Amino acid sequence: MVSLADAKRVVITGIGVLSPYGVGKQSFFEGIRTGRSGIRRVSLFDDPGIASQVAGEVPGFDPADFVDPQDLKRVPRVAPMAIGAAREALLDAGIDPLKLSTEEKRRIGVVIGTGGGGIDFAEKQYEAFYGAGTRHVTPYCVSSSFVGMLSSEVSIAFGFNGPSHVLSTGCTSSTDAIGYATRMIRSGTEETILTGGAEACITRGLLAGFSRMKVVSTRFNDCPQKASRPFDGDRDGFVLSEGAWMFVLESETRAKKRGANIYAEVAGYGSTCEAYHRVAVRQDGVEPARAMKLALEEASAELSDVRCVNLHGTGTQMNDAMETRAIKLLFGSRASGLATSALKSMIGHPQGACGAAGVAAAIFTLNEAFVPPTINQESPDPECDLDYTPNKGRSFETDSVLCNTIAFGSKNSALYLRKAKK
């Protein structure tokens, strides 16, 4: 293990996005700047028996734009999403896969986070099996249903022969993927990794399951744009969403040698587990606070260096109150002076991809000196009393952003991003 003193700096040189605002990073950046909601009535299926009828679907997304039409029946929806975002990220970084040599392709790895992976594909295959029998099940049922297929699809799409890994740790998946990719580059084992998160989990089965758990919003079906309201007193659960947020990570040395544009440095990563419960979280906030502290320690940063935090902010009663306590526990009297933001208020909760979405928002803050808002802040909650940048984003100069994520199974992960040194 390379000591932090000798480790390479890791930077982000390319960004690609498919989000509930549409295809492309510019639509995402414009959406979070204006504080526009990307939540609508569910259109991917029609099942009035499901209590929650709202979601954050990617408008204008055509899988055939990113995958050979002949392959569409062989891959889940998440694969072309990841490939589309990856393509944009690569081109944004000035890397054209068609112009790379065989040796150059061998030096590019893929590390992606996803929670559900091909869950939509699996649901359809179960319907086919139980409805019509084994002859109607595709030979790709197994390979395209597992989460592990996602990085393989991306590696195959671009011909990359480096490591191809998937991390699936629930809602911390893409945070962990970016953290692991960063450590791979920092240690010197890799120089370029395509990383981030992708999720296409708006399915009948999953939404029905979350509805039964009573963790998704059900009171705003007739007003979808109001449904996602983290930290608000009238919140009643998260809004399921989808999308892909992909990045090109490189060693700073390699990026500067190429003359690449550097968006930010991934300076630190921290992860903990409460070892407490399958779905509930401890209310003291100790382990989420420790994960954030570990990210700062890895970056050799002080608490006083942090002025802005991208919150997990799902919109459930327990999680939002607990995360507020975690911030207070970590920052003490400074907590009330932090500029914080809950991205999910605008785009919903893309499960395993939410950490990568937060990183994209953090990059926007660092480069545009602007903190996106937490919209739908209408009814104060005494337990949630931080500065969440309510309803309207604002100009805000900062050299760093701390990104927090929390997952089922008592998992907590955080990333610390800062402006790259000139």
Number of compact structural domains in the chain:
2
Within 10 A of 26 (CB to CB), how many other CB atoms are there? 12
Cα distance from N-terminal residue to C-terminal residue, the chain:
27
Do 39 and 118 reside in the same domain of the chain?
A: yes
Least confident of 70-74, 127-131, 301-305, 359-363: 127-131
231 and 113 in one domain? yes
Instruction: Identify whether 1 is part of a domain.
Output: no
What pLDDT, on the 0 to 100 scale, is given for residue 142?
A: 77
**Phi, then psi, of 414 in degrees rounded to 5:** -145, 150
Question: In terms of C-beta density within 10 A (0-12 exposed, 13-18 middle, 19 or more buried), how is residue 212 classed?
Answer: exposed
Report percent pLDDT > 90 for the chain: 86
* Statement to judge: residues 47 and 142 lie in one domain: yes
Quote the CA–CA distance of 126 and 138 in Å, as a whole number. 11
Domain closes at, from 264, 293, 319: 264
Single residue among 264, 297, 323 that ends a domain in this structure:
264
- Say whether 102 sits in a helix, a strand or coil: helix
Instruction: Give pLDDT, residue 126.
Output: 78
One domain for residues 40 and 136: yes
Active-site residue numbers? 171, 312, 349
Residue 3's Cβ-count burial label (10 Å; 0-12, 13-18, 19+) is exposed
Domain at 139, CATH number: 3.40.47.10
Alpha carbons 192 and 255: distance in angstroms, whole number:
9
Of the three residues 243, 264, 285, the one that is the final residue of a domain is 264
Of the candidate ranges 131-140, 156-165, 401-410, the one whose mean pLDDT is the lowest: 131-140
Asked whether residue 1 carries a pLDDT value surpassing 60, the answer given is no
Asked if residue 190 belongs to a domain, the reply is yes
Tens-place pLDDT, residues 335-367: 999 999 999 999 999 999 999 999 999 999 999
Coil, strand, or helix at residue 148? Answer: coil
Average pLDDT, the chain: 94
255 and 286 share a domain? no
Q: What is the mean pLDDT of residues 11-40?
A: 98
Angstrom distances, CA of residue 313 to CA of 135, 318, 384: 44, 10, 11
Report pLDDT for 232.
Answer: 98
Cα 90 to Cα 31, 263, 274, 284, 347: the distances in Å are 22, 14, 37, 41, 24
pLDDT over threshold 90, residue 254:
yes
- Both 244 and 357 in a single domain? no
Report the C-alpha gap between 330 and 310 in whole angstroms.
Answer: 15
Q: What is the pLDDT of residue 127?
A: 80
Bridging pattern class, strands 394-395 and 400-407? unpaired
* Residue 35 within a domain: yes
Is residue 114 within 8 A of residue 201, CB to CB? The reply is: no
Residue 113 belongs to some domain of the structure: yes
Residue 307: which domain range? 269-418
Whether residue 39 lies inside any domain: the answer is yes
Q: For residue range 239-250, list pLDDT tens digits in order.
A: 999 999 999 999
The reply to whether 255 and 283 lie within a common domain is no
pLDDT of residue 118: 87
Helix/strand number for the chain, H first, E second: 13, 15
What local confidence, expressed as pLDDT, does residue 3 receive? 44
Q: What pLDDT is stored for residue 135 in this prediction?
A: 66
pLDDT band, residue 27 (cuts 50/70/90): very high
Cα torsion 385, 389, 391, 394 to 10°: value is: 160
Higher pLDDT, 60 or 134: 60
More confident residue, 139 or 313: 313
The predicted structure's pLDDT at residue 25: 98
5 belongs to a structural domain = no
Q: Is the domain of 126 the same as that of 77?
A: yes
Residue 2 lies in a domain: no
Q: Is residue 3 part of a domain?
A: no
pLDDT confidence bin for 134, thresholds 50/70/90: low
- pLDDT tens-digit map of 175-219: 999 999 999 999 999 999 999 999 999 999 999 999 999 999 999
Per-residue pLDDT band at 223 (split at 50, 70, 90): very high
Residues 246 and 282 in one domain: no
Q: What DSSP designation does 178 have?
A: H
Asked if the model's pLDDT at residue 33 lies above 70, the reply is: yes
Residues 91-111: tens digit of each pLDDT:
999 999 999 999 999 999 999
pLDDT for residue 257: 95
Q: Are 215 and 311 within one domain?
A: no
231 lies in the same domain as 324: no
- Whether residues 249 and 228 share a domain: the answer is yes
pLDDT, mean of residues 409-418: 95
